Structure 1
């Protein structure tokens, strides 16, 4: 899709100083919003509104295909595989992946006078005191003035409500994944909970925790925090990483049966509802027009996407191949919308590749800051779009799967590297084969050689931006070099 961009204001970006909200869904596929999927079996009017009132990035990507590394990339503008995490995700109580001297979007905006808050799911590692009642190292040490939320996905302990660094009710009970009668191939985190010592109790949980209340409580706390800080003489930044539609798929009773895609569709309708409540709160306070909302997902849809096709005819990955954990585009091409009514004219689409890594550099330009040489090493600003101008083509981006397999994307070409001895490279022309069905490896040896050389340089070099001075925290060992 070609770009269509028109600016609507003459003032510089830094003069606007918008409030900034990043809404980050969990396991939402490219086809899981009605704006991108006309054949969707459910409607998402509030999510759609963000795209309709701003820019839809039809070739927008997360930096990995699972939770932890994508969140690291989003917040730091740096690939997670430059750290110790070479594949997979962290447990809730692992050592934090973001070092305390590493710049995040929160520290960037904080140094530019913003109130910074986070409400939602962290999943970047936390350290706790002995009984889990206090966070010793978490979001408040990464640039956020305020935190209310949970440490990780609900299939990991600890499951408790943390307000700043403390859980009012500590996770002193134990549980396990219970059967979910609402959704297929799923689980619940619900009472009864038991005291430590019982068998099969692998998740630490607080007595007052219940999975079905997470979205409502996140929205409630986000709105409360905005209500406290929006009257200050400085703007705010809210990072709102939701837990849906990640398992457990648990729509509240009032949303059940509202979609034609089973509990999953109902859960997406509930997700959209709470996003709408947040937007309504901004309007009621008169701050909606000068609030930039960035909406995206941490990776593609969970493997249950294939069951939804058979049961309901809903295609979560739309026309893309595969989903979560996969190097094919279904694993990392995600919904990606930005609205800012005061500055951005609605109804725009941008069809060139962008990455969530780029949000860091983009926001730096929006607030009139410069990205330093030791931060956001893989981030490229697309803020020129907000001025009605075309940004420079993005440099090659690296994709990584859950197992650590790599691919490189530049322009229309995507080269996938092998991850095991009997695996071959794959080359796809995404302009003419978005579903990645025709491997053109043997037809374009010169493109393969060029992309491979660029991939090695980016991965081994410690940065994509040439002006950076950083190296990888832990060296890479690329077997295919």
Structure 2
């Protein structure tokens, strides 16, 4: 009926998300870039004056810069799970109740559950072409090595070119092993004394049962030592591999030009899908240790290998932006750049170099919920849709990308689960001036570590920490590695009442408040403790994905591009040797 057409149009406009009304008929595309372990103080646009990042700085100059953008976790695996799903990682089981808070080996059975909904899956259902290039770190298989139940494909990415785990110094020949630090704390003296006692017992003519026990225990100790050695010697072959789709194409991968190769892959994806809506998630392997830089970038910075790596990351960002401009896609594409958590501060190379980033004025770094561990770069760029040069000092989260991207794509936010992120577009476009996050909760593995409160009609920003790690980068005697054991006793100090800071006045968290220095201390802490209790009561129990059982090596899950007898070695990546011809390298 012709007379019914106008009412129908009006109804459809009312039902559209507010952020979609200004977009026109076409759907926007997305380029989401996440650098691994990048410090907020590493970038020129966040105050660094000695490390050159002109391409990233230009993104901030022409877009919106967030100064209080927060990772949902200070560790890779849970932080990325939260980013993909818009939910605190404890809701998906991607937070550990034990020692190890991230996946270490590829033949483990844990991972992001299939039941979780990622923004990639939603956009794929909306007709988007989707790709993940770089680091995954959300698990791989469940029952056998070919089921790939946690693979990026299962979670909505049409194309995957990258590594399923994380980049470690073990993946770089001649860089040593992260496990050496663990072995340095093994009580070798006690073990040798025990072994000596067992040998003495065996040779002293003890009873047959005692001699058998001594022999068995001695054999067990020697076998364990042998297994540890084998684990280190074979780690790179079994865990440092490159995949294209579901195929292992390089094992172990050659890191030297890997950033350039992945940049070339990203450029190809953009060129191949320039006429359709797309989602590109470029998940950098860098600047996670062990560090590597392509030959053309070595010695290009004033900060050693670490600075060279940041320089190459910046170059990659520039190549992607030049490609968007060449394809006339800049006005159609929302570009986002961040880090998954704060910088790694404590690792020293086998050559004695300190490999770490810079947290700026903020305290500590990766693996802690001090501001340096969770406050990360947050840059949004979208000419014509977002203002240029805007700076926002409101609490935001990497979980906010989920509802923001889903709404912009014209899809619906899942209503059958709790989504902790909030749509950022009203804040970015200046339609509102306050963040929707009144309370934010900071986890150390699966333990609620801290609460942030931004009261309505107040400029104060309160943060309460219930415990803090007994860890300092210059002294690792209490805990051999931050990733392993800092969230549980005896490696933490509990605070009752909690440590309280007003970040609006003390962003460096240098002076905890007390009833003597803050008259409303008890009422402020009371509100935050009540909020924490209410939040914890609202977290529904789910199967934990980072248990010891899920962490253990399972031979039947081991990805291998050849037989295990050949130590899983191959080079099938067609990008080898062609990158420099495809992508111009230029350091500004």
TM-score range, shorter chain: 0.7 to 0.9
Superposition pairs of residues 112-261 of structure 1, within 5 angstroms: 112-127=126-141, 135=148, 137-155=150-168, 178-180=173-175, 200-203=233-236, 204=238, 205=240, 206-207=250-251, 209-231=253-275, 234-261=276-303
Is 1:26–1:299's contact at 8 Å kept on the other side of the alignment? Answer: yes
Distance 1:305 1:260 in 2: 19
Give the structure with the larger helix fraction: 2
1:27/1:299 contact within 8 Å kept: yes
Structure 2 equivalent of residue 449 of structure 1? 526
Deviation at 1:107, TM superposition (A): 1.6
Question: Which of 73, 76, 84 is the equivalent residue of 1:75?
Answer: 84
Q: How much has 1:84 moved relative to structure 2?
A: 2.9
Count of residues in Structure 1 that have an aligned counterpart in Structure 2: 423
CA RMSD between the two structures: 3.1
- Return the match for 1:34 from 44, 54, 77: 44
| Structure 1 residues 139 and 342: alpha-carbon distance in aligned structure 2, compared to 1, 3 A threshold | same
**1:417 matched to which residue of 2?**
466
Question: Which residue in 2 is equivalent to 1:473?
Answer: 542
**Given the superposition, is the C-alpha separation of residues 385 and 452 from structure 1 closer, same or farther in structure 2, using an over 3 Å criterion?**
same
Aligned equivalents of 1:370, 1:10: Cα separation in 2: 12
Q: CA deviation at 1:56?
A: 0.2
Q: Structure 1 residue 46: deviation in Å?
A: 1.0
2:50 is the alignment partner of 1:45: no
Q: Displacement, 1:116?
A: 1.3
Residue 470 of structure 2 aligns with which residue? none
How far apart, CA to CA, are the structure 2 residues paired with 1:199 and 1:109? Answer: 40
Match of 2:369 among 327, 345, 358: 327
Which residue of structure 1 lines up, in the alignment, with residue 569 of structure 2? none
Structure 2 Cα separation of the partners of residues 306 and 353 of structure 1 = 33
Deviations 1:242-297 (A, max 9, x none): 01111121112211221111110111001111111111111111112211101000
Instruction: From the superposition, tell whether residues 78 and 268 of structure 1 become closer, same or farther in structure 2 (CA, over 3 Å).
Output: same
Question: What's the offset of the Cα at 1:11?
Answer: 5.5
Whole-angstrom CA distance in 2 between matches of 1:265 and 1:24: 17
- Partners of 1:11 and 1:138 lie apart in 2 by 35
Distance 1:13 1:140 in 2: 29
Deviations 1:386-409 (A, max 9, x none): 443116532311112358451111
Identify which range, 381-390 or 451-460, moves more after superposition: 381-390
State the structure with more CA Rg: 2
Separation in structure 2 between the aligned mates of residue 453 and residue 407 of structure 1, nearest angstrom: 13
Structure 2: distance between partners of 1:98 and 1:84: 8
Does structure 2 retain, via aligned residues, the 8 Å contact 1:13–1:367?
no
CA contact (8 A) 1:140 1:146 kept: yes
Q: 2:505 matched to 1:461?
A: no
Task: Map 1:260-275 onto structure 2 (within 5 A).
Answer: 260-275=302-317
Q: Is the 8 A contact 2:132 2:157 kept in 1?
A: yes
Contact 1:176 1:200 in 2 (8 A): no
The 8 Å contact of residues 81 and 94 in structure 2, kept in 1 or not, is answered as no
Query: Out of 61, 80, 97, which is 2:111 matched to?
Result: 97
Q: Which residue of 1 aligns with 2:483?
A: none
Paired residues of 2:345 and 2:357 also in contact (CA < 8 A) = no
After superposition, give the CA deviation of every residue in 1:169-222 in whole Å (9 maximum; x if it has no partner): xxxxxx7664339xxx99xxxxxxxxx979732231545621222211211111
Matched, 1:57 2:66: yes
Aligned to 1:302: 344
**Take 2:409 and 2:320, find their aligned partners in 1: how far apart are those partners?**
23
How far is 1:315 from its partner? 6.8
Find the counterpart in structure 2 of residue 436 from structure 1: 509
User: Among residues 328, 333, 339, which one is paired with 1:291 in the alignment?
Assistant: 333
Shift of 1:447: 0.7
- Cα distance in 1 for residues equivalent to 2:232 and 2:152: 32
Pair 1:227–1:375, CA change in 2 (3 A) = farther
Task: State which drifts further: 256-265 or 22-31.
Answer: 256-265
Superposition map of 1:339-418 within 5 A: 339-375=381-417, 377-390=419-432, 392-393=434-435, 394-402=437-445, 404=447, 406-411=449-454, 412-418=461-467
Q: Distance in 1 between matches of 2:525 and 2:52?
A: 41
Q: Secondary structure at the match of 1:278?
A: helix
- Distance across 2 between alignment mates of 1:318 and 1:426: 22
- Given that 1:34 and 1:42 are in contact with CA atoms closer than 8 Å, whether structure 2 keeps it comes out as yes
Q: Which residue matches 1:427?
A: 500
User: Using the alignment, how far apart are the partners of 1:315 and 1:140 within structure 2?
Assistant: 32
How much does 1:15 deviate? 4.0
- The Cα shift of 1:432 comes to 0.4
Q: Does the 8 Å contact 2:464/2:501 carry over to 1? A: yes
Equivalent position SS for 2:285: strand
* Residues 105-156 of structure 1, C-alpha deviations (whole Å, 9 max, x = no match): 10222233211111111001111896x6884540000011111111111239
Contact kept? 1:77, 1:375, Cα under 8 Å: no
Gapped runs of 5+ residues in structure 2? 1-18, 182-228, 241-249, 455-460, 468-487, 545-588
